[in-house]
Amino acid sequence: MMNMQKMMKQAQDLQKNMKIAQAEIETTTFYGASAQDLVKVAFTGDRKMTQIDISPDLIDPEDSETLSDMIRQAVNAALVDIDKTTEQKLGKFTKGLPF
């Protein structure tokens, strides 16, 4: 019976720590940039874009494809960083669990 109470306490502690880690991730700002930093973006940990900076040198009405590519690179870089940080902070809680 004591082991069950101990397990329940550990599960509650785990859940509490996971919520704290998730809150930290959500309030962290993640940055991404394209090649040569021509496009820079910022996201919150819950994947909301908060900022996008585009170098004026990149804006060419004749070449919107390059601008699109640079935005895509910057956004994807930030999202990869969010995923990596989430795995680092939350993955430690799920390692060894039987699911």
Pairing assessment for the beta strands 39-44 and 29-33 based on DSSP bridges: antiparallel
Q: What's this model's pTM, rounded to 2 decimal places?
A: 0.73
Residues 86-95 have pLDDT tens digits of 988 888 777 7
Distance CA(81)–CA(75), nearest Å, equals 10
Determine the Cα–Cα distance for residues 22 and 99; give it in Å rounded to an integer.
20
Q: What domains are defined for the chain?
A: 29-93 (3.30.1310.10)
Q: What pLDDT, in 10s, does the model give residues 46-77?
A: 999 999 999 998 889 899 999 999 999 999 99
Q: Return phi, psi of residue 48, to 5°.
A: -105, 125
- What is the percent of the chain with per-residue pLDDT over 70, rounded to a whole number? 94
Summary mean pLDDT of the chain: 89
